[in-house]
Amino acid sequence: MSLLEKYLYGWRRRSSRPSFDPDETHRVILTGFDDATATARARVGDSVLRVDGTTREHVDTVARVRVKEFDEGAAQGRAELLEVVGEPVY
Amino acid sequence: MFAATIQAGGFVEGLVWLADAVGVEGALFVGITFLLAGLLATGIGTGYGTTVAFVTLFFPAGVLLGANPTLLFGAILSGAVFGDNLAPVSDTTIISAVTQDADIGGVVGSRFKYALIAAVPAFVLFVAAGSAMAGIDVAGDARSIFVANSEPAGLAHLASLGAVIATALYGRHIIEAISWGIITAVVLNVALGLAAVSEMLVFRIPTDAPVGDVTFLPVVETATDASEVGVGGSIYSGAAGFFSISILILLIIGGVWIMVRGGAFDALLEWVLESVATTVRRTELSMVGSVALINAAITINTAAEIAIAPYVARLGERFNVNAYRRANILDANTAALGYIFPWSGGVLVGFEAIRTQVLPEYEWFTAAMVVNPADVFPYVFHGWLLVAVFVIAAWTGFGREYTIDRVPDEVTTL
């Protein structure tokens, strides 16, 4: 991103419930664990992605995931784990 | 060191000359004071240094020109807020970027919009209030103060600021960028006769020092009194001024990590997540409130920012709020409130400069003209507007970014 783009980026309102399209890949922090589905989840704003292929140990890691499906009405969806890329700052 | 060295070279005196040369008077003086203080603070990265410099050099002239002293002090503090928040070399800017794991350049770029949205109406308010609020009628020659304090050659240090910015834009490390700024400032000071070498670095040795006569060296002087023996100059004093606060910060970091390792931090976080921060909007609002609370309790903004940084990071990460956004919420509210609360370090350093430097300096300046810290807080317009911008941004989602939107670069790049 150029210097000018850094200054012009973000002059807009961003929804509290961001949406996702299938096959998109994202880098997210896995923020919790869903006992019902036994998968880690990534809460992004007020939207939630349940991430297949994860265990409780993946919570609080930074992971690259691919979106499988997303329901905009419910702001919930499913994704699959591609790789763990790091840990959050604290 | 950079800030102290370009001040030793008369950069502020250059700004005084500029203000005099363009003939700024009356209501516009307060607005221009805000802009120039903001320019200086953005260049040197220290709001405290800017406050002291402007209180001693601009404040008395402004009072003589008919500006309301309380409003003028508020304009100076507002300029300090602007620079502390936006300057790439500001300690609070760097702390906000490092603690949230974002590059300094990206952090500055992403916060520009909030700073601009607050600064434009702040300038208008200062001009409007400058017309509406009466000054003090004193007999004196404001121009003579300007002339006595002005040094056009000091503006050469715009090149020192340019050296930092250009090096940084070239992608170099922040430490290297500031080092080039210091080298440029030293060369300009010596080449243009703005400051002697000994004003930047001096070793004052005792008369009986067992080293022979080395006073031919420009950095060596003989101390006439034993109490004068030691090291001095802007390069030394600029660094030494941060020694005590560095120790305080290390202690705070130690305390924070004891809380983190002991689980108290997680317990507090879980309670907040269950009872307050249940949505991303409420989370961001609670971040603004928490930063305000910590700044009310810890009056040195750098220390307050370090203490609350892990909390802001953990809370934001639970909602995948981007590091840039977290850094902006952390720094803007710290910078603003550190110059608003009457007991904060930023206000008190300015109050002390008025009381101990301006009051004894000018015969016409009486104790009744010293601005009470409790009187100035409503007039720190840029500070209040910056806090308001973030409350509105948290509520509406303006400028919000998630981790999915972009990945910050390496921390120390600009």
pLDDT tens for residues B257-273? 787 788 887 888 888 88
Contacts of B389 in chain A (CB under 8 A): none
pLDDT top residue among B37 and B411: B37
Residue B259: per-residue pLDDT: 79
Maximum Cα interatomic distance, chain B, rounded to a whole number of Å: 72
Mean pLDDT of all residues in chain A?
94
Taking CB atoms and an 8 Å cutoff, what residues of chain B touch A42?
Answer: 320
Q: Return all residues near B246 (Cβ < 8 A) that are at least 6 apart.
A: none
Reported confidence tier of residue B14, pLDDT bands at 50, 70, 90: confident
- Minimal CA separation from B92 to chain A, in Å: 18
Domain borders along chain B are 1-195+242-414, 197-240
Mean pLDDT (whole number) for A65-86: 96
Share of chain B above pLDDT 70, in %: 96
Segment A74-78 shows an average pLDDT of 97
For residue B321, list its beta bridge partners.
Answer: B402
Three-state SS at A20: coil
Q: Is the pLDDT of residue A61 over 70?
A: yes
Predicted confidence at residue B261, as pLDDT, reads: 82
| DSSP reduced 3-state for A83 | strand
B403 vs B210, higher pLDDT:
B403
CA dist B33 → B16, B39, B53, B70, B339 (Å): 10, 10, 12, 13, 16
Q: Would you call B126 exposed, middle or buried from its count of C-beta atoms within 10 A (0-12, 13-18, 19+)?
A: buried
| B99 contacts on A by Cβ (under 8 Å) | 89
Q: Is B304 left (phi over 0), alpha (psi -120 to 50) or beta?
A: alpha
* Nearest CB to A90; choose among B313, B396, B398: B313
Q: Of A7, A26, A88, which has the smallest distance from its Cβ to B404's Cβ?
A: A26
Average pLDDT, chain B: 88
pLDDT at B208: 81
Residue B413 contacts residue B101 (beta carbons within 8 Å): no
Identify the band that residue B6 occupies on the pLDDT scale cut at 50, 70 and 90: confident
Q: Residue B105: is its pLDDT beyond 80? A: yes
Given this model, what pLDDT does residue B139 score? Answer: 65
In a domain, A39, yes or no: yes
> Does any domain span residue A13?
no
Q: Is the pLDDT of residue B20 over 90?
A: no
Structure tokens, B376: 């100035």
- The mean pLDDT of B8-19, rounded to a whole number, is 82
More confident residue, B147 or A61: A61
Q: In what order do the strands lie in the sheet with A39-44?
A: A25-29, A62-71, A76-86, A47-52, A39-44, A32-34
What's the confidence (pLDDT) of residue B3? 77
Please say if the pLDDT value at position B411 is more than 70: no
B-chain CB neighbours of A44 within 8 Å are 319-320, 402-404
Q: According to the model, what pLDDT value does residue B158 have? A: 87
Contact B133, B29 (CB under 8 A): no
What angle (nearest 5°) sits at the alpha carbon of residue B136, between those of residues B132 and B141? Answer: 115
Residue B279 to residue A16, Cβ atoms within 8 A:
yes
Q: Are strands A39-44 and A47-52 parallel, antiparallel or unpaired?
A: antiparallel
Of A11, A46, A88, the CB nearest to B317: A88
Give me the number of domains chain A comprises: 1
**What is the value of ipTM here, to two decimals?**
0.96
In tens, the pLDDT along B333-350 reads 999 999 999 998 899 999
The shortest CB-CB distance from B400 to any of A14, A32, A43 is to A14
Specify the pLDDT at position B2.
83
- Per-residue pLDDT at B169 exceeds 70: no
CB contact under 8 A, A88 and B313: yes
Q: Is the pLDDT of residue B414 over 60?
A: no
Taking residues B164-191, report their average pLDDT. Answer: 82
Residue of A1, A6, A28 with shortest CB distance to B403: A28
Q: What is the pLDDT of residue B336?
A: 95
Mean pLDDT along residues B98-109: 91
Give CA angle at A11 (B328, A50), nearest 5°: 70
Q: Which of A43-47, B49-53, B240-244 has the highest mean pLDDT?
A: A43-47
Residue B171 predicted with pLDDT over 80:
no
Q: Which of these, A67, A42, A49, A17, lies nearest to B317 by C-alpha position?
A: A42
Q: Per residue in B32-48, pLDDT tens?
A: 999 989 988 888 888 88
Inspect the interface and report whether the beta carbons of B313 and A89 lie closer than 8 Å.
yes
Instruction: Choose the mutation target among A1, A6, A30, A82 for the interface with B, i.e. most B CBs under 10 Å.
Output: A6
Weakest-pLDDT range from B34-38, B81-85, B408-412: B408-412
User: Which of A6, A13, A31 has its CB closest to that of B320?
Assistant: A31
Which residue did the predictor score with more confidence, B387 or B66?
B387
Q: Per CB distance under 8 Å, which residues of B are interface residues toward A?
A: 99-101, 105-106, 108-110, 112-113, 169, 260, 279-281, 310, 313-314, 317-321, 323-324, 396-407
| Host domain of residue A38 | 22-86
**Residue B114 Cα, gap to closest chain A Cα (Å):** 9
Separation of CA B212 from chain center: 43
Position A63 in a domain: yes
Residue range B295-313, pLDDT digits in tens:
888 878 888 899 899 999 9
pLDDT digits (tens, 9 = 90+) for B204-239: 988 888 877 788 888 888 888 888 898 999 889 878
Q: What is the CATH number of the domain that holds A30?
A: 2.40.50.140
Cβ <8 Å between A14 and B397: yes
Q: pLDDT at residue B413 above 60?
A: no
- Residues in chain B with CB shorter than 8 Å from the CB of A10 are 110, 113, 324, 399, 401
CA B79, B112, B289: angle at the middle one, nearest 5? 75
Among B167, B172, B280, pick the best mutation site for testing chain A contact (most A Cβ within 10 A): B280
Backbone angles phi, psi at A36, to 5 degrees: -65, -40
Is A78 in contact with A40 (CB distance < 8 Å)? no
CA dist., res. B207 & res. B205, Å (int): 7
Question: Taking CA atoms, what residue in A is nearest to B392?
Answer: A13
Annotate B333-342 with b (16+ C-beta within 10 A) or e (fewer): bbbbbbbbbe
